[in-house]
Amino acid sequence: MPKHPFAHPLIRAAAAVLIACAPHAPVSAAATTEATLDAYIGEALAANPDLIAANLGVEASREAAHAAAAQQWPSLALNARYTRADGGRTIDFPAGDLLNGVYQTLNADLEAQGQPAAFPTIENQSIALLREREQETKLSLTAPLFAPSLWAQADAAEALAQAASAGREAYARILVREVKRAYYGATQAEAAVQILEASEALLAENVRVSEALVRTGKATRDRALRAEAERLAVVQRLDAARALAAQTRRLLNALRDQPAEAPIELPEPARLEAPRPEPGEGATRPELLQIDRSIHAAAAQRRAATGTLLPTLALAADYGVEGTRYGFGADDDFNTVSLVLSWSLWDFGSRSAQRRQAIARTDQLKEQRRSLERQLELARRAADDDLQTALRSITAAQARVVAAEEAFRIAQRKRSAASLSQVEFLDSERAVTEARLNLAVARCTALDRAAAVELTRASFPLPSRLATSE
């Protein structure tokens, strides 16, 4: 009596695959799958090293904008100087040569009158230009009153900070897309492994049946050899499929900044629900926001270059104490207030060249925006088309499952009536397995295409810390 095909352990494994990939799944399974994927996306958005680097870049740009804005406001500084001097130039004053003759005459007159001499002998004086000790301590207040170049530079720095924020959002959306691609890719790879495992089990049974027929003289040896060659071909494909499944798991872990071999929870492919096309045009892509901010920054830099052709006016005020020692009396302190005008009249065309450079940069960015907008529109249309194709593929795969299951039921009745060979029965069973798992692959592909559409429409709800306001 022939051995029942489901007695073989690998055939039982194939049957388990069929049961696990049944087309009807509990409603809660889809919610669980979505929650798992959302958790992985949340981990990636929180721990991905490249996104963390982008966050730090935004923070650096924001601080640069704060620094540029602060240049527009008054600044207060404490300056202190204490000097010890020795030597240096002197001024020689012949006080003795000028006065000693007069003093001697006056002293002689006094002595003639019987009075003591009253006028001393004076030495010539040598006055040092540098005081031996000196200190100056003051508070200096500086305030720009008219500085158009400074104002424009602050605007440019703010626009560049906003551009960096938009660039971070663009990377975050690409990261979400890559996590979904890796997740659905891993699910699809596991489905491919299941297909090939079931196929290898069926082909192994085919080899066993063929060898039995050869031993009983009901078939020639080439039949067994062809069966073994077919099985080995599937074994080779299975090995490659397992390697691909391991790679997709490692990629998903890398995006989440997890160890390469960290466990990953994947859904049963048949439990994935088909995506639904998104209505409307979606939000503005952050790539466009980024280049818009860059255009604004280039325009501000143009204004800054133009502003250097104008004079600047600033207020400078000092208050402090000075002298040979530290003192705070009325004779020690001082204060000054100044209006400082600065106007560079000629620089051999340096500022004009900077202005022309900024104009060219602005025009360059505008043309790049036109090209980018066209590319993004083409990508959006292509993603929509790919999704529609993938959804139609699901419909075809579902029809294939229905046809394969009906053919298998007929094969079962024929086999019960002894009008179907063992090999034909196993082929029919394999067709059912491949059709059902092909449906799962089609669902994974459609979900991957939906993630691409989501990226082109910038519709994934990112955390507010990563989103850029228009």
According to DSSP, the β-strands at 133-146 and 125-128 are: unpaired
Rounded mean pLDDT, 444-468: 90
pLDDT in tens, 98-141: 888 888 888 888 888 888 888 888 888 877 777 778 889 999 99
| Tokens read off for 118 | 């009253």
CA distance 48 to 253: 10
pLDDT at 170: 94
DSSP code string of 190-249: HHHHHHHHHHHHHHHHHHHHHHHHHHTTSS-HHHHHHHHHHHHHHHHHHHHHHHHHHHHH
pLDDT at 18: 38
pLDDT band for position 423 (cuts 50, 70, 90): low
Please name the amino acid found at residue 65. Answer: A
pLDDT range class, residue 418, cuts 50, 70, 90: low
Averaged over 351-357, what is the pLDDT?
A: 90
Helix (H, G, I), strand (E, B) or coil at 139: strand
What does the pLDDT average to over 61-80? 94
| pLDDT tier at 388, thresholds 50, 70, 90 | very high
Contacts of 298 (CB under 8 A, 6+ apart): 156, 358, 361, 362, 365
pTM of the model: 0.76
- The answer to whether residue 167 scores a pLDDT higher than 70 is yes
**Does the structure show a pLDDT above 60 at 190?**
yes
SS3 letters for 411-442?
A: HHHHHHCCCCCHHHHHHHHHHHHHHHHHHHHH
Place of tokens 């019960």: 416
Residue 48 has pLDDT above 60, yes or no: yes
Specify the long-range contacts of residues 12-18, CB closer than 8 Å, at least 24 apart. Answer: 13/197, 13/198, 13/201, 14/197, 14/198, 14/201, 14/202, 14/429, 14/433, 17/194, 17/197, 17/198, 17/433, 17/437, 18/198, 18/432, 18/433, 18/436
Predicted confidence band at 2 (pLDDT cuts at 50, 70, 90)? very low
Give residue 325's pLDDT: 80
Where would I find the beta strands (DSSP E) of 85-215? Answer: 90-93, 125-128, 133-146
3-class state of residue 31 by DSSP? helix
Residue 392, token pair as written in the block: 């139609």
What letter does residue 342 receive in the DSSP assignment?
Answer: E
Q: Which residue has the tokens 């104002």?
A: 151
75 DSSP β-pair partners = 142
More confident residue, 147 or 85: 147
Residue 281 to residues 168, 277, 308, 454, Cα–Cα distance (Å): 22, 11, 44, 11
- Catalogue all structural domains in the chain, each as residue range(s) with its CATH number: 5-79+148-312+349-457 (1.20.1600.10), 93-129 (no CATH)
For the chain, give the percent of residues with pLDDT over 70: 90
At residue 84, the pLDDT reads 84
Q: Return the closest-CA partner of residue 293 out of 172, 168, 166.
A: 166
| pLDDT confidence tier of residue 26, bands split at 50, 70 and 90 | very low
Mean pLDDT: which of 83-92, 196-205, 369-378, 439-448 is highest? 369-378
pLDDT at 28 over 60: no
Percent residues over pLDDT 90 in the chain: 47
Give me 209's structure tokens: 């049946």
